[in-house]
A and B are shown apart, each in its own frame.
Chain A
Amino acid sequence: MERTQHIVRIATETGLLVLLGPLVTGYVQKLKARLQCRRGASLLQPYRDLAKLLRKGTVRSDTATPFFRAVPALVLAATVTAATMLPVLWAPSGPALLPVGDSILLLGLLALARFLLAIGALDAGGAFGGMVASREMTVGLLVEPALMLAVFSVAVAAGTTDLGELAARRDSLAALSWQAPDLLALFGMLILALAETGRIPVDNPDTHLELTMLHEGMLLEHSGPGLACIALATHVKQLVTLTLVATLFFPPGLARGLAPPEIALALGAFAAKVLLLATFLAVVESSYAKLRFFRVPQFLGLGLVSAFLALALRVL
Chain B
Amino acid sequence: MTVELATRLIDVLGALLLFTMLVILASGQLFRAIYAVALQAVFLGIAGAVLAAATGNPDLWVIAGITIVVKAFVLPWLLIRVVRTVQISREIEPAIPMTLTLIAASGIVVLAFHLNASLGPVRQTITGNALPVGVTLILIGVLVMASRRKALVQMVGLFASENGIFFTAMAISQGMPLIIEIGVILDVVLGALVMGILVLRVRSSVDTDIADLESLKG
Contact = CB atoms under 8 A, between A and B. Distances in A.
- A–B contact with Cβ pairs below 8 Å: the answer is yes
Nearest to B117: A316
B109 A309 contact: yes
Given A308-B106, A309-B106, A312-B113, A301 B19 contact: no
Contact of A180 (B12, B26, B106): B12
Chain A CB within 10 Å, residue with most, of B16, B19, B105, B129: B19
Given A298-B28, A316-B110, A316-B113, A305 B12 contact: no
Contact of B14 (A180, A187, A295): A180
Contact of B15 (A184, A304, A316): A184
Given A180-B14, A298-B98, A305 B106 contact: yes
A301 B15 CA distance: 18
A208 to B, nearest CB: 27
What is the interface of chain B mostly: helix, strand, loop, or mixed? helix
A304 B123 CA distance: 34
B28 A302 contact: no
A309 B98 contact: no
Question: For chain B, which range describes its interface: under 10, 10 to 19, 20 to 34, or 35 or more residues?
Answer: 20 to 34
Contacts of A312: 106, 109-110, 113
Interface in A185-218: 187
A183 interface: yes
Contacts of A179: 8, 11-12, 15
B78 interface: no
A313 B129 contact: yes
B18 interface: yes
Contacts of B19: 183-184, 187, 306
Nearest to B133: A180
A309 B18 contact: yes
B24 to A, nearest CB: 11
B111 to A, nearest CB: 10
A176 to B, nearest CB: 8
Contacts of A308: 106
Interface residues of A, number: 20
Interface string A143-178: 000000000000000000000000000000000001
Nearest to B19: A187
Nearest to A181: B15
A180 B128 CA distance: 11
Interface string B2-23: 0000001001101110110011
Contacts of A301: 26, 98-99, 102
A305 B15 contact: no
B114 interface: yes
B12 A183 contact: yes
Nearest to B26: A302
A304 B102 CA distance: 10
B116 interface: yes
Chain A CB within 10 Å, residue with most, of B15, B23, B106, B109: B15
B40 to A, nearest CB: 14
Nearest to A180: B15
A316 B114 contact: yes
Chain B CB within 10 Å, residue with most, of A178, A184, A299, A309: A309
Nearest to B13: A180
Contacts of A299: 26
A178 B9 CA distance: 10
Contacts of A309: 18, 22, 106, 109
Contacts of B105: 305
Given A309-B109, A313-B113, A302 B12 contact: no
A56 to B, nearest CB: 43
A189 to B, nearest CB: 12
A138 B53 CA distance: 50
Interface of B: 8, 11-12, 14-16, 18-19, 22-23, 26, 28, 98-99, 102, 105-106, 109-110, 113-114, 116, 129, 133
24 contacts: A179-B11, A179-B15, A180-B15, A180-B18, A180-B129, A183-B19, A184-B15, A298-B28, A299-B26, A301-B26, A302-B22, A304-B102, A305-B26, A305-B102, A306-B22, A308-B106, A309-B22, A309-B109, A312-B109, A312-B110, A312-B113, A316-B110, A316-B113, A316-B114
Given A179-B8, A313-B129, 7 more contacts: A179-B11, A179-B15, A184-B15, A302-B22, A304-B102, A313-B113, A316-B110
